[in-house]
């Protein structure tokens, strides 16, 4: 699973869903941003949630 240009940190990065044997996490291929996810099915929703907050914060700043 890969979401292009969806990184909450660098915004242009491609975020991929990975399992390292200990659990699932999403990781930006460009800047190294990483976030644990409890279930792979939740990854996209979490990503969207963070991105929405991030954009609101950027607007307020
Ligand atoms: Zn990034």
- pLDDT for 57 equals 86
Q: Which residue has the tokens 């991105």?
A: 51
State the distance from the centre of ligand 1 to the C-alpha of 30, rounded, in angstroms. 5
CA 22 / ligand 1 centre spacing (Å): 22
Q: Enumerate residues with CB within 5 Å of ligand 1 (an ion).
A: 7, 9-10, 13, 28, 30-31, 33
Q: What is the pLDDT of residue 4?
A: 96
Residue 55 is predicted with a pLDDT of 82
* Residues β-bridged to residue 17: 26
Cα 32 to middle of ligand 1, angstroms: 6
CB 31 within 8 A of CB 16: no
pTM of the model: 0.81
Structure tokens at 1: 């699973």
* CA contacts within 13 A on the Cβ side of 57: 8
Q: What is the pLDDT along the chain (61 residues), one digit of tens a residue?
A: 999 999 999 999 999 999 999 999 999 999 999 999 999 999 999 999 999 998 888 888 6
How far apart CA 34 and CA 22 sit, in angstroms, is 14
Return the pLDDT at 60: 82
């Amino acid at each position: 699973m890969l979401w292009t240009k969806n990184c909450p940190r660098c915004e242009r990065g491609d975020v991929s869903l990975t399992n390292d044997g200990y659990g699932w996490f999403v990781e930006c291929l460009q800047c190294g941003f990483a976030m644990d996810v409890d279930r792979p099915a939740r990854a996209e929703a979490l990503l969207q949630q963070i991105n929405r907050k991030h954009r609101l914060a950027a607007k307020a700043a």
